[in-house]
Amino acid sequence: MSSSESLNKPTVKRIEAEQLFFTVQNGSTLTATKLSNFMYQEAFVNGLYSDVKIQVFEKEFSLHRIILNRSSYFASLFSGPWKESGSDVIKISFKGDANVTLQAFELAIQFLYGKFDLAVARLYAQSLLATASFLDVPDLVELSTELVIISISMANVASVLLYAMDNDYGLASDRIIKSCKNVLGCAGCEAGVSAWNLVPTQIAAEVISSDIFFVPNEWERCMFTIMLIEQNLKYHSIKNEKSNFEFSFNSKTPSTPTTNNGDSKNLDPKLSQPATPFIFKSYSSSRAEKKYSVEPLRRTM
């Protein structure tokens, strides 16, 4: 055997092996695709050999327990000590979460049957996440969370934040809130204060005071904060609503500090220093465990 033949032989084997792997891989993918299409069309759409009917939002679906068992919610429902476990017709109510919709439920069930329309899912990403969380389908929760995250922009960041903060979807909510903060940090200053009108105060304060907030310098950060407060007050005044920001402003500092009863004796001399107008200050609260307001701060020596 020549040296050239000995060199080419393993190369030919490698190529043949790769081609075989490619053929098997494509064949498996094709078979899986055909199977999922068959399951979707015959089992889901046509209800062939259905063994359970699920009623939601005044609509009835002819489904299959073995397929629904992919959902931990249904697996528990079918095997647990519930009256529905042996019933042929099961009615499900989603009154606990208004984000769950008929469209999202149908998308979630299609997912269990091997069908997923990404374009349609994007339109119902938030509802789909709520439904996937309710049905306890981890893969769909992760997928719908990604769809919510990639949809975030300065145009909708406030509404997405409120969605994630008002609904506890576990790690999904945490990831969405973190992504919203990143969007505010990267694009918030350039977008201007008007884009922050509906951003929750505690989130706004956290982002603006953090390193993720992209501003040219600290002076610009300070000026942005002041303009944001003014814009917030103006916005809520027009709508006859209470501002998100609660603060006090004292333009005149007494030359001699006094107590509540007017007594000026025995006061800490440090308090005689001039007062700065206002700063953000955090307090404990709610989900984010922070509540921010603006209050007077006196310098200390």
On whether the CB atoms of residues 104 and 124 are closer than 8 A, the answer is: yes
Instruction: Classify residue 274 by its DSSP letter.
Output: P
Q: Write out the residue range of the structural domain in which residue 118 sits.
A: 38-131
Kindly state whether residue 268 falls inside one of the protein's structural domains.
no
In sequence order, the 6+-apart residues with CB closer than 8 A to the CB of 85 are: 77, 78, 79
Instruction: Classify residue 152 by its DSSP letter.
Output: -
Task: Single out the residue of 216, 205, 209, 161 nearest to residue 183, CA to CA.
Answer: 161
DSSP string for 90-104: EE---TT-TT--HHH
**pTM: predicted TM-score of the whole model, two decimal places:** 0.69
* Percent of the chain with pLDDT strictly greater than 90: 50
Confidence of residue 208 (pLDDT cuts 50, 70, 90): very high
In the chain, how many domains are there? Answer: 1
Kindly state whether residue 55 falls inside one of the protein's structural domains.
yes
Kindly state whether residue 148 falls inside one of the protein's structural domains.
no
CATH at residue 45: 3.30.710.10
Kindly state whether residue 54 falls inside one of the protein's structural domains.
yes
Q: Could you give the CA distance from residue 31 to residue 139 in angstroms, rounded to a whole number?
A: 22
**Range from 11-20, 33-42, 210-219, 274-283 carrying the lowest mean pLDDT:** 274-283
Joined tokens for residue 135: 């049905």
Residue 132 predicted with pLDDT over 50: yes
The reported pLDDT for the residue numbered 151 is 96
pLDDT tens-digit readout, 143-169: 999 999 999 999 999 999 999 999 999
The reported pLDDT for the residue numbered 236 is 65
pLDDT tens-digit readout, 80-125: 787 777 788 999 998 889 999 999 999 999 999 988 899 999 999 9
Q: Could you give the CA distance from residue 186 to residue 192 in angstroms, rounded to a whole number?
A: 12
Confidence of residue 286 (pLDDT cuts 50, 70, 90): very low
Most confident of 26-35, 266-275, 291-300: 26-35
